[in-house]
Amino acid sequence: MNIKKEQIVTPWQVSGEIDYEKLISQFGTTKLTEKLKKDLENKTKSKKLHLFFRRNFIYSHRDFNKIVENIENNNFYIYTGRGPSGKMHIGHLISFITAKWFQDEFGCNVYIMLSDDEKYLISKKLNLEEINKISIQNFEEIAAIGFDPDKTFFFKNTEYISKMYKTALKFAKRTNLSTAKAIFGFNNETNLGHIFYTMIQIVPTTFERDKYCLIPAGIDQDPYWRIQRDISEKLNFKKVTAIHNKLLSPIQGINGKMSSSNENSAIFLDDDEKTIKNKINKYAFSGGKPTLEEHRKYGGIPEIDVCYNWLNILFEEEDNKINEIYKNYKTGKLTSGELKKILIEKIILFIKKHKENKEKNKKDLNKYMYSGKLAKQMWEK
């Protein structure tokens, strides 16, 4: 008998084996077609799609065709964000890397929310002062991505609430408890702040009224956008558009979502070389065979191998190299140990570069938050 653990995917919980096809039908989103990706590629400056598109890591969308159709008219902006609950791991960078790619290719504005209110409201132990410290640390990590300081606005909700509250009220007036319960799974134990926060997360989808807002985010965040899309046009705002990436798996297996709560399931942005080596060697779920002899004879299963998957979606940029790795692993030519070594080197390089960028870009944080061209506009609104 084969009992699958029930799939639960909400903004606050991801558990069970995730069936991404099923999520598309469950959430009512649209699968990203090769045709739409080709259209996007044709309009890029670099004439090349980002890895996330090429490897089907970004795989689902809402109205992304509207963005692609008029992309040359600078008809959109990007909105994404992070809940500052602790230090960041590599999985937390996915949306920011995607945002940066769009900004480089098309020159669009990027808005990044730090939902310090949400994290305070759902945390069992952190107070607002602790969350504030984490927020600044997180902003420094995100600044490392290297956004354009005049086209990017970083904001914390408890600080930027003054400019968001009225719009939140407009959505809140039109969202009743029964809708919120159905979409977010709230119950009698849910606190009043958490319930209202869902409206705050919607507000930046209205920051540029004349343009489309495109959200690159994990598909687990989709419930928010469903409410926005139900209400926005009644308020003369455009329906938000979105592209959904799959979730970066934990080290222990290709299912689920990398989580900070299990230190050994994630590679953190401040991990040192030794820690990285140790985590991958010790915990990375392998698709290889138990003995070298069997592996050489029957080959490994790249599809269920965490190292292969991480290389595929995040660390091996070259299409021919990843194809070679796939083939060699599948035929048993490449061992699990060798595959781990390739991944470890890539991660170490990635983290090293990230740390350098973090130091280099710290000076821009004030621009992103207050003094850059876009940030200034947003505070003067």
Question: Using CB under 8 A as the criterion, which residues of the chain lie in contact with its own copies when the complex forms?
Answer: 117, 120-121, 128, 158, 161-162, 165-166, 168-170, 172-178, 180-181, 186-196, 198-199
The residue assigned the tokens 């410290």 is 133
What is the C-alpha end-to-end distance of the chain, expressed in Å?
A: 60
Phi and psi, residue 243, nearest 5°: -120, 140
Listed residue (259, 226, 84) closest to 155, CA to CA: 84
Select 181 or 211, whichever has its Cβ closest to its own copies.
181
**What is the residue whose two structure tokens read 């692993």?**
329
Q: In terms of CB distance, is 180 or 280 closer to its own copies?
A: 180
Contact 15, 5 (CB under 8 A): yes
Q: How far is the CB of 179 from its own copies (least distance, A)?
A: 9
Residue 165 CB, shortest distance to its own copies, in Å, is: 5
To the nearest whole angstrom, how small is the minimum distance from the Cβ of residue 180 to its own copies? 6
Cβ atoms 95, 245 nearer than 8 A: yes
Q: Report in angstroms how near the CB of residue 139 gets to its own copies at its nearest.
A: 18
Q: Which of 118, 85, 122 is nearest to 198 (CA)?
A: 118
Asked whether 287 and 254 are in contact (CB, 8 A), the reply is: no
**95 in Cβ contact with 217 (< 8 Å):** yes
Q: State the minimum distance, in angstroms, from the CB of residue 230 to its own copies.
A: 13
Q: Nearest approach, Cβ of 163 to its own copies (angstroms)? A: 9
Q: 95 vs 198, which CB is nearer to its own copies?
A: 198
Distance CA 237, CA 207 (A): 10
Cα–Cα distance between 265 and 257 in angstroms, integer?
A: 9
Nearer to its own copies, 205 or 255 (CB): 205
Residue 118 · residue 293 · CB < 8 Å = no
User: Which is closer to its own copies, CB of 78 or CB of 126?
Assistant: 126
Nearer to its own copies, 186 or 370 (CB): 186
